[in-house]
Amino acid sequence: MRRHEDWLKQAHSDLDAAEDSAGSSHFEWACFQAQQAAEKALKALIISRGVKDGWKFDAIAANVAGI
């Protein structure tokens, strides 16, 4: 299974939503959605590197320094 691709696809969707929200002057939602997009993209990267349970916060925190 290529789970990292699912995370990256969702990150792109969240970023599209952030752009739509910003275009509608819903800046607080745009910021939240952009943050979610960044987090999901980071999860995709960590999972693509073969980190077990890379979607969990502990795995992200442990691996972010190595990126």
Report pLDDT digits (tens) over 1-21: 588 999 999 999 999 999 999
Question: What pLDDT, on a 0 to 100 scale, did the predictor assign at position 52?
Answer: 72
> How many C-beta neighbours within 10 Å does residue 45 have?
19
* The pLDDT value given to residue 46: 87
Q: Residue 47: is its pLDDT beyond 90? A: no
* Closest of 13, 1, 2 to residue 41, by C-alpha: 13
**Model confidence at 54: pLDDT above 80:** no
CA distance 9 to 44: 9
Indicate whether 62 pLDDT > 80: no
Instruction: Look up residue 22 and give its two tokens.
Output: 């910003």
